[in-house]
Structure 1
Amino acid sequence: MLKVIVVDDEPLARKGMMVRLREFPELEVIAECTNGQQAIDSISQLTPDLVFLDVEMPGMDGFAVLKQLQAQNAVLPYIVFVTAYDHYAYSAFEVSALDYVLKPVEPERLKQAVEKVLKIYQAQDTQRHKGQLAEAVAKLTGDDTGNILQRLDNAQPVVNDRFPDAISIKDSGEITRVPVAAIEWVDAAGDYMCIHTRDGQTHILRRTMKELEQELDPKLFVRVHRSAIVNVHTIAKLQMLANGEHQLMLTNGQAVKVSRSYKDRVKQVFNQ
């Protein structure tokens, strides 16, 4: 539900608006104000989603209310101006009002204004949830937030559940298939990557760390540094060093530094 404040200096006009707004289950009126200053105080304290704001009020009219809120850098709600004069319409849109309705308020016109607000709110709410989901997935997988949002917009899977069982590595005219399950950890070496496997071998791969990370199952591999990826099954313990930094000790005795930006992702491995 959207939290709503009704602002009007005329008691009958406020009452009429309150009655009409009851017909919209998506709206909850949390306050009614009788003047501009009261409106500013209520909006600042209650942070409504939507305000029906009367234009013609003594002392401080609706435009002055909105301009003062803007000057305070307040988080502005959706504004629907209510006025007896349609010549205010242009000015209403100039100060970023979402819509306006004329007095006496006609039910059908009010419905159009409310539906307009709800449509915009739902679109922004969906985008906000997509952003939150993309950030969460990015933290878990190391994928770029923009790529995740693009997949969401295209109705594609957010995380690829099918990952290759082996990685093909070309070297000196040969192609070696390295089983993903055999990889213990990976570190970057300039323009190359060194893939270290359980049999003690090191394979040189001419790929970027980001490209390889997208091919590895995030449930089995964790990015611990800008230049290092580790198989979670090879992690023995997480150590805090004297300088406040962290490092992983692998089961093969290898120490791998953990950067601050990836520390939370590493800690999630120990919480699983």
Structure 2
Amino acid sequence: MAALPSEQCDLVRFVAKPGADTEAFRQCLISHSISPVDWQVCPDLCSGLLENLINQYQSGTSQTLTIGIVVVDSASLNELEGLISPEIISVMCGRTNQDALKAFNAGIDSFFCLSADVTAKKRQIQQLIKQYRALTETIKWRLASENLARQRACSLAQLINKLHQQKSGVVPPTPQIALRCGAQWQNVSLESIRYVEAAGDYMCVYTQEENLIVRSTLTELSQRLPADLFTRVNRSVIVNTRFVKRLIALNARVSYVELTDGSKIKISRRLMPRCSQQLDLSLSQP
């Protein structure tokens, strides 16, 4: 899938270990990607290759960034051991929750679920490309900033401070929360989180864009989430009240909360009084 010269600025590059799952991922890219992609098969994902990917944009010697997304499956995951870095975007292809946990335990950035439906696959690909675009823009900005700082004979921190002082009319940022996903931290918009569910030593954070596996306990996470936006409905689940469609009371003992996507979550009897009060208040607001 070679790109035309005019498409180079939009090209998304992938470096993959050959395998059935990585090939299935490539077929998904062909079917669902809205961006031109370049697919490079590498039988040996050695440290030299990955270090080369880093050096291509860390050196700052070229204005053309040629970073690539490293694609592996469960069989080739061990080849990335000790080589995961914030400077590398990595994705693992798999089919089960066990595969996903294995990926995030190894520090892989993203997990692509091959057994997901078409809509979910499209969303995952779009999110991966969005992450790639964000990283390349960040690196371009950093290289340009370092060059400008050298020209002005000041430190990068001093330059950033000057630029902030010159800004005006800045729109307040959307409230976010930093979540530890694998070996990295990811900023997630609070308004995009639909609900959070405990999964052993991990949390499954369900957002409008993707599902994240987070290293945290439900108690720790609940203390960091704003109480006016999130409420705990049982021992395992916290919901965002903005995504609550209605309360369903089957009888005096059993009640459910229905989310806007149709999901139904049981409310524990112990939490029902406080939960009902907060959800009633949220539902009464326009």
**TM-score, scaled relative to structure 1:** 0.42
- Larger relative contact order (C-alpha < 8 A, sep ≥ 6)? 2
User: TM-score scaled by structure 2?
Assistant: 0.41
Instruction: Work out which of the two has the higher radius of gyration on C-alpha atoms and give 1 or 2.
Output: 1
